[in-house]
Amino acid sequence: MAELGSLVSKVRSKNAGPFWLTVDVFCDDAATYERVRAGLQDAAVARLFGVDLQLLKRFDIPSLNVVKFSVPRPVVQGTRADRDMHGAGWACLLEEMEIA
């Protein structure tokens, strides 16, 4: 097991409009990408983000060595309960996730 952030070159999270969040995991090479792709389980990621598994969109992009997740924001950007206007903190959650 290893923290995802220790394996990959960058994890970035950002709003995709006020109603969606998107998180990109950038790997340096194909071997890391393959490990990360296999190690990131959709159910675990949905749980980590507190969203319904059915709403999790995932894109495995071997040409970029990138795994991308998009989810509807649990709290719409800028509403009373929103803590993170630009969705910055979600990358940290994924970076600190342990994967096989």
Question: Helical H runs in 4-81?
Answer: 4-7, 30-39, 42-49
Q: Which is nearer to other proteins, 38 or 85 (CB)?
A: 85
Smallest CA-to-CA distance from 26 within 78, 89, 56, 69 is with 69
Give me the least distance between CB of 35 and other proteins, in Å please.
Answer: 20
Nearest approach, Cβ of 37 to other proteins (angstroms)? 15
Alpha helices in the chain (DSSP H): 4-7, 30-39, 42-49, 89-95
Q: Report the alpha-carbon distance of residue 47 to residue 3 in Å, rounded.
A: 17
Burial of 72 (0-12, 13-18, 19+ CB in 10 A): middle
Q: How far is the CB of 60 from other proteins (least distance, A)?
A: 11
Closer to other proteins at the Cβ: 93 or 99?
A: 93
Closer to other proteins by CB, 38 or 74: give it: 74
For other proteins, the closer of residues 34 and 77 by Cβ is: 77
Q: Which residues bind other proteins (CB under 8 A)?
A: 14-20, 22, 24, 26, 48-50, 57, 59, 61, 63-64, 66, 68, 70, 72-73, 76-80, 83-86, 88-89, 92-93, 96
